[in-house]
């Protein structure tokens, strides 16, 4: 089935009464954008290392970010994930979008009122510099909701008969969608916000009205926005909050079949123009639900493995491998299409999430008690922890390097959150500043904040500093990872190693990663004690990739919080 045939079928299932004039217009637009390029790099995201950043907090604007591209390339990054860059009042760190085809003027280094051509010149120059270094660029688009300052909503609230009124969901009966859970407990009291005699629906902050995808104009507008950025050279999009796109009474308004239809529509349109422009699913769900956003290779290319993240922290706190092994077992993490990929992370711009959607009450309690060491780190009444990687791991460069070893060697495309490569700490000043600006006590602002590059460069130039130790260890792991396709494409086989007394070494997380002749054995001691294990490797020759030395003994002594990456031949 061609992409156009797929689009027509998907459109008809969403809007069976529509005359399809809008769709014919879209087809003409797609033909005008279609790029004559092969899909040679269509799975580039599998071997990528992603670096997530806010442009302004990282280094002021796109010109400043361009100056740091050599630094990022030297670290071992191959893809930049730009956190929200589109025009916004910035009450939710840019996830409250005011214009889908406009970048914030301060990020461009332009005065307000700049032309589309000026935007394309500045952003185009940045993309060219990134691509010249082999760096892909993706960015966030909130698909479910917009800012209440968006012109669509400004028009919609002006009168009940305004054409944009139907871009949103209105009611006088707030029992509608009563089974939809409240996502921002402790910050919002309801999914309905009053406005005159009416209420409008929102799943997140009250200043972020949800879009109404029952209106075909909404789907058309969102698709054209994606196509605009794709035409400028953007390599993909993080599709924010996609589980909530379609609403139906009598349901929890999450993961509904027509939500998947919408995502398939976006994918088919992007594929028609340029295959390999990825859609990354931001869906806080259990893996068996999350994999549905990968479809059969016709929805998102990749999805975050949200449950794995807290289980890595649990394993480190327990000093046992079981939480990671159980989470990646087929009973918890089903197989995904060959073309798809998990994205993994230790920290991100949000909290260390402990939603019951993907952790048990017991896990939540354990992780919260072990890592939420300050009252202000608490997020959503125990459902998360707002703290940076360095804060969570007590500024111990050994623990941080071990955590990176686990994430970088397990299946998936790893994401590094800006500043974590040198142990950036929670930013108390930025947190207070943003509370004052937004009026919301959103503790996630603790894990954001600006980088003082003069200060950081001084720290990184001192090989004995904490920051330099973290950076150097991470850089070494990334260099090795790039040389071995087994990490991005290979199979996973957990290995149970035994101690000299024959007991299983439960504190050792070990596994093989294999593709073709690339055979890796990863061995990691999660405990604070020295462990000696019998090395179960079925190959004769083992090279320690961290030292370059051969290791052919059947015994391996692993120091506390240490790891080995072996290449076996």
The mean pLDDT value for 285-302 works out to 92
Whether CATH 3.30.413.10 fits 147-210: no
* CB 116 within 8 Å of CB 99: no
Domain 491-568 has CATH 2.60.40.1180: yes
Residue extents of the structural domains in the chain: 45-146+214-482, 147-210, 491-568
Q: What is the mean pLDDT of residues 381-409?
A: 97
User: What is the per-residue pLDDT across 2-50, written as a single tens digit (0 to 9) for each?
Assistant: 888 999 999 999 999 999 999 999 999 999 999 876 545 679 999 999 9
| Whole-number pLDDT of residue 461 | 98
DSSP alpha helices (H): ranges in 86-169?
Answer: 105-108, 116-132, 151-156
Considering only CA atoms, which of 318, 384, 369, 347 is closest in space to residue 528?
318
Closest CA relative to residue 205, chosen from 229, 223, 188, 224:
188
What confidence score (pLDDT) does residue 289 get? 87
> Is residue 193 flagged as an active site residue?
no
Tell me, yes or no, if 240 is annotated catalytic.
yes
pLDDT per position as a tens digit, 229-239: 999 999 999 99
Judge whether 45-146+214-482 and 147-210 match in fold. no
pLDDT computed for residue 441 by the predictor: 86
State the average pLDDT over residues 63-90: 98
Catalytic hit among 271, 282, 298, 507: 282
Q: Determine contact, residues 547/529, Cβ cutoff 8 Å.
A: no
Catalytic residue (choose from 87, 193, 240, 363): 240
- The residue-averaged pLDDT of 338-350 equals 96
Enter the tokens of residue 512. 């093989």
pLDDT score recorded for residue 152:
98
Q: Over 70: is that where the pLDDT of 417 sits?
A: yes
Please state the rounded mean pLDDT for residues 456-483.
98
- Per-residue pLDDT band at 538 (split at 50, 70, 90): low
CATH number of 45-146+214-482: 3.20.20.80
Mean pLDDT of the chain: 95
pLDDT at 192 over 60: yes
Residue whose C-alpha is closest to residue 524's, from 404, 421, 416, 414? 404
Res. 500 pLDDT band, cuts 50 70 90:
confident
pTM of the complete model: 0.96
């Amino acid at each position: 089935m061609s992409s156009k045939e797929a689009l027509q079928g998907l459109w008809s299932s969403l809007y069976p009464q529509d005359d399809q004039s809008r769709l014919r217009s879209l087809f003409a637009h797609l033909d005008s954008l279609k790029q004559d390029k092969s899909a040679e790099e269509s799975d580039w995201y599998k071997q990528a290392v992603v670096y997530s950043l806010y442009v302004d907090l990282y280094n002021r604007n796109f010109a400043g970010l361009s100056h740091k591209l050599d630094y990022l390339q030297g670290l071992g990054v191959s893809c930049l994930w730009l956190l929200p860059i589109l025009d916004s009042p910035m009450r939710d760190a840019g996830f409250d979008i005011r214009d889908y085809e406009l970048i914030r003027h301060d990020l461009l280094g332009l005065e307000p009122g700049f032309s589309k051509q000026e935007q394309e010149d500045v952003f185009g120059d940045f993309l060219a510099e990134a691509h010249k270094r082999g760096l892909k660029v993706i960015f966030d688009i909130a698909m479910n909701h917009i800012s209440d300052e968006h012109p669509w909503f400004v028009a919609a609230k002006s009168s009940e008969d305004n054409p944009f009124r139907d871009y949103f969901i209105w009611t006088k009966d707030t029992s509608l969608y009563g089974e939809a859970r409240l996502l921002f407990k402790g910050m919002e009291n309801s999914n309905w916000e009053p406005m005159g005699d009416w209420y409008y629906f929102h799943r997140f902050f009250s200043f972020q009205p949800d879009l109404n995808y029952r209106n075909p104009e909404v789907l058309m507008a969102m698709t054209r926005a994606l196509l605009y950025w794709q035409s400028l050279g953007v390599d993909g999009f993080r599709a924010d909050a996609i589980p909530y796109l379609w609403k139906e009474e009598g349901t929890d308004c999450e993961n509904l079949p027509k939500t998947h239809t919408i995502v398939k529509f976006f994918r088919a349109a992007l594929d028609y123009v340029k295959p390999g422009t990825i859609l990354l699913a931001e869906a806080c769900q259990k893996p068996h639900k999350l994999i549905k956003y990968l479809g059969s290779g016709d929805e998102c290319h990749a999805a975050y493995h949200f449950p794995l993240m807290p289980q890595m922290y649990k394993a480190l706190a327990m000093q046992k491998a079981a939480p990671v092994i159980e989470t990646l077992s087929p009973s918890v993490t089903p197989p995904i299409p060959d073309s798809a990929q998990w994205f993994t992370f230790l920290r991100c711009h949000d909290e260390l999430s402990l939603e019951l959607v993907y952790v048990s009450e017991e896990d939540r309690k354990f992780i919260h008690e072990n890592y939420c060491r300050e009252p202000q780190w608490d997020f959503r009444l125990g459902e998360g922890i707002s703290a940076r990687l360095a804060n969570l791991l007590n500024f111990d460069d050994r623990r941080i390097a071990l955590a990176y070893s686990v994430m970088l060697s397990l299946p998936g495309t790893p994401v590094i959150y800006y500043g974590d490569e040198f142990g950036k700490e929670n930013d108390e000043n930025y947190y207070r500043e943003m509370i004052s600006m937004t009026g919301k006590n959103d503790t996630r602002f603790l894990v954001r904040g600006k980088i003082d590059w003069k200060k950081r460069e001084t720290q990184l130039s001192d090989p004995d500093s904490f920051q330099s130790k973290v950076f150097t260890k991470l850089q070494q792991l990334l260099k090795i990872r790039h040389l071995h396709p087994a990490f991005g494409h290979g199979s996973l086989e957990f290995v149970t190693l035994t101690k000299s007394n024959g007991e299983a070494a439960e504190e050792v997380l070990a596994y093989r990663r294999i593709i073709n002749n690339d055979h890796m054995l990863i061995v990691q001691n999660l405990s604070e004690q020295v462990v000696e294990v019998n090395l179960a490797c079925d190959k004769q020759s083992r090279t320690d990739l961290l030292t370059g030395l051969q290791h052919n003994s059947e015994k391996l002594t692993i120091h506390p919080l240490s790891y080995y990456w072996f290449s076996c031949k």
